Structure 1
Amino acid sequence: MTRDEQPRDVVERLGLPGLIDVHTHFMPQNVLDKVWAYFDAVGPLTGLEWPIVYREEEERRVALLREFGVLAFTSMLYPHKAGMARWLNGWAADFAARTPDCLHTATLYPEPEATAYVGRALDDGARVFKVHLQVGAFDPNDALLDTCWGTIADAGVPVVIHCGSGPAPGKFTGPGPVARLLARHPRLRLIVAHMGMPEYTDFLDLAERYEGVRLDTTMAFTDFSERLAPFPVAELPRLRALGDRILLGSDFPNLPYPYVHQLHGLERLGLGDDWLRAVLHGNAAELFSPATGR
């Protein structure tokens, strides 16, 4: 690799048709502005500055992903209070309709209306859900969500769930709430965001225990995150063994480093080109087939 290497160079070197990134953020601009304001102020939480490299207009952000060689991506969005999720789902459905390489994304929140709008999102073609336990500050085992989880599990639709305690813990983060959720809904296809950072070992345990659990690489293994929450070297053999459960995620556009650095972080683990090909494309292509199998 070279300092000026681009994501597409990694794609070509590995002989891949492209990347599939299961953790990218597109949302209404007024919501994104608030997210960016959070990251602008996140230094006091982490002790590290968080300059957003890709603070661009929406059309340019989509174009950048395509330039990087990303074949399919998501519009991860999430509510922080009741009354937001239905509106966000409407926006995401429209975004997916006008952005064919975006996997139609939806979200939820524990509220009486959740059962209805989750069902509607699935009927409208949602391919993936996003849940953020830190920002939403809710227990995934809330009774208001029980029917939703059952419906999503029956549909076989994956849920990207931010449940680790990084970059700052929340009341319902950590492996405990997710373990209880999976005990009640073992068929759920959960994609643990950020590899479960910093509780990597606990979430690897859950991936070994439940066939539907996967982990995304978002920000893990990068210089930025290794300073905050280094991945334990002792777990690399398990990471290799679970190679069919690991999916590329980036957190684009909210990155404090160039997109290619996530790919380099994965390469320098030394787990081999076959492992990389699966993580960067193959695993997600199989999970979301046929939409991403090109």
Structure 2
Amino acid sequence: MEVRQFQERLGLAGLVDVHTHFMPERVLRKVWAYFDAVGPLTGMEWPITYRRDEDERVALLREFGVRAFTAMLYPHKPGMAAWLNTWAAEFAARTPDCLHTATLFPEEGVDTYVREAVESGARVFKSHLQVGAYDPGHELLDPAWGLLAEAGIPVVTHCGSGPQPGKYTGPEPVARLLARHPRLRLVVAHMGMPEYTDFLDLAERYGEVRLDTTMAFTDFSEGLTPFPRQELARLADLGDRVLLGTDFPNIPYPYSHQLHALERLGLGDDWLRAVCYGNGARLFGLERGDTP
């Protein structure tokens, strides 16, 4: 298997994938329906390569050698986040290699359910500014961001303007958020595409900002929003804060393609080892033998 061969060549103990999607089945079906319609919306087809039942998807990640993964789930309206957090806690309890994931939305009570999620063991949060169509600087979110910054819990945030811009996507809203909460462990999903350079700037400015590789550098994304080659040196320098993400199962190509896309950047085996395992293992304490 290509994924296992990639790990064996690098001598990796496995992969840590910070951007995989698991959510209640009826919610996931709606997400898949959206991607089925992306062709008419963007002019490009987006087939779901791993459109399978939940148990099969978990088994596939294990077969790939993914030691720890996430359940990136997100609300698109008020009243959803607490319910999604309950589901995610149950999923993590029955799936020990899944990092307990939670989410949030600017609404009354958000500080309460975020605190409850943290106290129940949440290891990572998801914030989707594009789908949720909210300003990360919304005053209702401020206590929650402060709590997450204090707890050191990473927040994987879709904040770039790809594949379609939203009212609050782009670097400016995130820059304002980080100015207020500079210790927030914000993980910029998709490398911030297409605003790669702006989000590299933020990562250089704030030591707790990280970037995930989700769909970046693949043939699919390079055809739409190519990563600027003049920024590869900066990407190499930030190698200790780049994390493997894939968007499994909602990807229009095999899982192995994301790994090969990283390899062909030519940034070296040490960089690949850090991105695909070491950085995530350190962030989540897996190097100490902790369970996800």
TM-score where L is the length of structure 1: 0.97
Is 1:18–2:17 an aligned residue pair? no
Name the CA distance, whole Å, in 2 between partners of 1:196 and 1:81: 23
Which residue in 1 is equivalent to 2:32? 36
Identical aligned pairs, as a percentage?
A: 75
Which of residues 239, 243, 248 in structure 2 aligns to 1:243? 239
Which residue in 2 is equivalent to 1:232? 228
The answer (yes or no) to whether the contact 1:284–1:292 under 8 Å persists in 2 is no
Q: Per-residue CA shift, 1:173-203, capped at 9, x if unaligned?
A: 0000000000000000000000000000000
Gaps of 5+ in 1: none
Which of residues 213, 217, 238 in structure 2 aligns to 1:217? 213
Is 1:128–2:128 an aligned residue pair? no
Which residue in 1 is equivalent to 2:112? 116
Which of residues 52, 74, 78 in structure 2 aligns to 1:56? 52
Name the aligned partner's letter for residue 229 of structure 2.
V
3-state SS of 1:228 partner: coil
Number of matched pairs: 290
3-state SS of 2:127 partner: strand
The answer (yes or no) to whether the contact 1:45–1:167 under 8 Å persists in 2 is no
Name the CA distance, whole Å, in 1 between partners of 2:34 and 2:230: 33
Q: Once the 2 structures are TM-superposed, how far is the Cα of residue 48 of structure 1 from its aligned partner? A: 1.0
Is 1:82–2:88 an aligned residue pair? no
3-state SS of 1:24 partner: coil
TM-score where L is the length of structure 2: 0.98
Name the CA distance, whole Å, in 2 between partners of 1:147 and 1:129: 15
Name the CA distance, whole Å, in 1 between partners of 2:44 and 2:171: 25
Which of residues 169, 174, 179 in structure 2 aligns to 1:178? 174
Q: Once the 2 structures are TM-superposed, how far is the Cα of residue 57 of structure 1 from its aligned partner? A: 0.2
3-state SS of 1:170 partner: coil
CA-based RMSD of the aligned residues comes to 1.0
Is 1:260–2:256 an aligned residue pair? yes
Q: Per-residue CA shift, 1:80-125, capped at 9, x if unaligned?
A: 0000000000000000000000000000000011010000000000
Name the CA distance, whole Å, in 1 between partners of 2:60 and 2:263: 22
With over 3 angstroms needed to count, the CA separation of the structure-2 counterparts of 1:71 and 1:290, relative to structure 1, is: closer
Query: After the TM superposition, which residues 139-218 of structure 1 pair with which residues of structure 2 at under 5 Å, given as runs?
Result: 139-218=135-214
Gaps of 5+ in 2: none
